[in-house]
Amino acid sequence: MKKKKILMVVAVAAVLSVAPFTAFAAQSKTAAAVSKAVSEAYSFKSGNVELTAGTDAAAAISSLGKPAKIFEVDSCAYQGKDKVYMYTDFEVGTYPVKGVDKISYINVLSDKVVTPEGIRIGSSVNDVVKAYGKALSEEFGTYSYKKGSTELKIFTKNKLVDGIEYSVAEAK
């Protein structure tokens, strides 16, 4: 009987000593999955803040600081409000999913913003092709690129970039 109690105590101690490592491993796998999803996507950067369409918006919006304006409208696709956060050089659109705001799109509004690949409003089409390669599609001066679940659209006029949009890629 005494031997059973000792074995039980040792077994419980062993399980308890492994539990933190199991929790850490699960947390690491989750963080790794999020990191992998972001690395397999087109992302926009403003300072140290990285925004990726389709990801949770709260931390990124909070880190960006106070926007110049916020617009809200009832979502036609989800329950809740679609929101647009207007900043000086870009805007961020969000949509609600089960009470959590997700980033729908990021629109670049000025030539002060440079993509991680070095493209800005005013860059040439040749610079775009050098930075991103051949577009998945090109229609009416809009170059579309897809990476993971994100899409990057480069809008051009007279062979110069005049708009940049990061968004969730349409499911096909």
Name the residue type at position 119. Answer: I
**CA dihedral of 89, 92, 84, 87, whole degrees rounded to 10:** -20
CATH 2.40.50.100 is right for the domain spanning 43-168: no
Question: Cα 49 vs. chain centroid, distance in angstroms?
Answer: 10
Domain ranges, ordered by start, for the chain: 1-30, 43-168
DSSP state at residue 115? -
Which residues contact residue 55 at a Cβ distance below 8 angstroms, ignoring those fewer than 6 apart? 34, 37, 38, 102, 103
Bridging pattern class, strands 150-157 and 160-168: antiparallel
pLDDT, tens digit, 9 for 90 and up, residues 7-46: 444 444 444 444 444 444 444 444 444 444 446 899 999 9
Bridging pattern class, strands 160-168 and 49-52: unpaired
Distance of alpha carbon 30 from alpha carbon 59, whole angstroms: 17
The token pair that represents 32 in the structure block: 């790794």
pLDDT tens for the chain, residues 1 to 172 = 444 444 444 444 444 444 444 444 444 444 444 444 446 899 999 999 999 999 999 999 999 999 999 999 988 887 889 999 999 999 999 999 999 999 999 999 999 999 999 999 999 999 999 999 998 999 999 999 999 999 999 999 999 999 999 999 987 6
Secondary structure of residue 31 in the 3-state scheme: helix
